[in-house]
Structure 1
């Protein structure tokens, strides 16, 4: 964690504290927090749980008002851990401070270079990640970093002994750096307040929620993971519907929806144009569109005739528009250009099902010239696909590995307008 704070370029003062060291990573190390010169805003604690309450008490006397406790061994393990967490919370509250954790994976604010977590993520972006699970949060951070989307804030809440999802939602609702909130939730002890916070936040920006512990087995696992009661899946789903939050069930959909919402405005409607070089992939996209409650755009004869005139004889002129395995980038450019201004199309799913160079340039061009979302699936492209994906990632334009995932992302984008 210390290495990541340094490597992320944090501009504030950093004070390592360890009773057995005089220097860590080139920084002067203090034997106790009381020895640190000057004020301290945040203490990140990574020590055995039995020492945490006393350490926090000492830090509170120093005037520290913010704590992140990474250490596990509290309420989630039962027994003595419950008492340790009670003492920890008491020390924090008596000092008028706030706490994230314990049993958590830390925080990250890329806008100030504070990566007090792992992995190292430094790309600034519009997505805030809030999660009880550290690994889920890290999964999101890694993907958003790799694919050029970036994060605004990151908080892995762990046991939520103090700061919880209600606090984070209310904060993020007003955060100018955040355009999308991605929330992993296992349960809450503040049902009514959660409902109000979700409603307030979702009225200002999209909130994507994945609720873990939907089944009996999952609920039991939640209790042993963070010591949380999972609650009724049906009740949570009703809350999400009523507040306008976008509920998803898988990590893939959680990530895919978040990056689509970060990149695109919601479509005006649910009429989708599919352009593909793979007939099979186009069929899968059509199935996914209908199964999600959307529809394939109906092309008028005027546009169909224009496509027949401008595209080669081997193209299958309909929706899905199959450019076939003989396709090349210029055909996609023509196909999008000839249909883009038709008001009966609200969004595109564009599938590159072969090694097609120039795919990125085509999509980037049309995204500059239209507000209609264009969701890309690139598959089956070998080394060419790797290079094309790299260009999409560098530009922060979402690209999906399958037609179904592109359609699911579009569906959740559409839901954000309906919500």
Structure 2
């Protein structure tokens, strides 16, 4: 059975819907409504006649029509029987938010076994339990929390609800948007392997982000990664790299966590891109969603801050990017256009006296040079008009990665202008370089 019913259902029942604001049964129902879900929505609560303006039913068995997907938010001990009832109403997909299963010990493990057996009998697929839900912006389905509805091209699979939510919220705040997000929880049925296969075939997904703590079938996981990478980048953040981290992962979702060094080698051979922090995962997602792949590793850094240029250079060297020497011809072209105080090296230091016109002149020359693949543009001072300058050069064929360090009003205005144009802006040179290194590595994988 496919996974479409989790992402494109015609109808959704929220079992455990609540009238009480702040409870998950209220917030998830409210988010499905506010995200603009166009299908039918059925709140299920035996103690309510109506919730949020929708007719409420005592049980899913009382709904007069078939229901395609159910979101279940009831105590764990009731979930197996609820799943059985869902089968009688034609439910194909169930998202079990409820905790209290395998992650809690032997009694919870038995409940999870009973739930899975009921699902198999009813031919229902399960995401969860102990998860934060799913979000599919294409159909306005935010069966999760918080409310995120901006459409984009980033899809994510996460064993952590908080990491899931952080990625969603950052993408929403910066106007990048998301495509399909799944919080796996205990992954008793649907897992990261099946979801990767599904998302690799999704034409609107440009990049897949993955947070995992362990996998049940390492060989199949790597084979699926290798196949998915042929069509789009897959970014992997793994929890449980250290001895105590492994113990924490086992208690979080009862994951089987293998030796990290073996996992790391396997990831690299499969062509996946490994990251080590949540911010790094998001930064790389943002780059893949908005920037063209560089043709090579040749980088020029343009900056008004000497210190920031040095930090960017260090990061490039550490991550295998080539901070090229400027050719004599290129230096002469720059010399003819740049103010005399500019330092005509790489990094190209425009100094603190630079304005947006100085950047425009520099980028015009650099974008015309065939020996440059990527340009990191660091703006270290308030710079009215810089968003328009970067936007003008953004589609010139180079991979342009903007960095804005300041937090003042002028910087905020320029940053927001770029975000509205889907131009990514990074908050530090190192974060920008890491994102560019991920792009460059994937470009090399695709090309070679």
TM-score (norm 1): 0.98
Cα-Cα RMSD: 0.9
Instruction: State the Cα distance separating 1:318 from its structure 2 match.
Output: 1.1
* Separation in 2, partners of 1:394, 1:218: 39
**After TM superposition, where is structure 1 displaced by more than 4 Å over at least 4 residues in a row?**
none
Q: Secondary structure at the match of 1:50?
A: helix
Instruction: State the Cα distance separating 1:265 from its structure 2 match.
Output: 2.1
Give yes or no for contact 2:35–2:149 (8 Å, CA) kept in 1: yes
Instruction: State the Cα distance separating 1:119 from its structure 2 match.
Output: 1.2
1:329 aligns with 2:343: no
Instruction: State the Cα distance separating 1:295 from its structure 2 match.
Output: 1.5
1:413 aligns with 2:439: yes
* Separation in 2, partners of 1:225, 1:29: 34
Q: Secondary structure at the match of 2:343?
A: coil
Give yes or no for contact 1:355–1:381 (8 Å, CA) kept in 2: no
**Residue pairs, 1:2-401, within 5 angstroms:** 2-368=29-395, 370-380=396-406, 382-401=408-427
Count, aligned residues: 418
* Separation in 2, partners of 1:371, 1:218: 43
Q: Secondary structure at the match of 2:439?
A: helix
Q: Secondary structure at the match of 1:151?
A: coil
Q: Secondary structure at the match of 2:344?
A: coil
Q: Deviations over 1:11-64 (max 9, x none)?
A: 000000001111000100000000001110000001111111111111112221
* Separation in 1, partners of 2:222, 2:316: 30
Give yes or no for contact 2:72–2:95 (8 Å, CA) kept in 1: yes
* Separation in 2, partners of 1:18, 1:162: 26
Q: Secondary structure at the match of 1:57?
A: helix
Q: Secondary structure at the match of 1:76?
A: helix
Q: Deviations over 1:296-348 (max 9, x none)?
A: 12211111011111111111111111111111111111101011121211101
Give yes or no for contact 1:148–1:397 (8 Å, CA) kept in 2: no
Give yes or no for contact 2:65–2:89 (8 Å, CA) kept in 1: no
Q: Deviations over 1:120-142 (max 9, x none)?
A: 11111111011010000000000
TM-score (norm 2): 0.92
Structure 1 unmatched ranges of 5 or more: none
Q: Secondary structure at the match of 1:196?
A: helix
Give yes or no for contact 2:37–2:141 (8 Å, CA) kept in 1: yes
Structure 2 unmatched ranges of 5 or more: 1-27
* Separation in 2, partners of 1:270, 1:259: 19
Q: Secondary structure at the match of 1:15?
A: strand
* Separation in 1, partners of 2:299, 2:70: 50
* Separation in 1, partners of 2:406, 2:241: 35
Q: Secondary structure at the match of 1:160?
A: coil
Give yes or no for contact 1:354–1:381 (8 Å, CA) kept in 2: no
Instruction: State the Cα distance separating 1:418 from its structure 2 match.
Output: 2.1
Q: Secondary structure at the match of 2:168?
A: helix
* Separation in 2, partners of 1:354, 1:381: 10
Instruction: State the Cα distance separating 1:118 from its structure 2 match.
Output: 0.9
Instruction: State the Cα distance separating 1:150 from its structure 2 match.
Output: 1.0
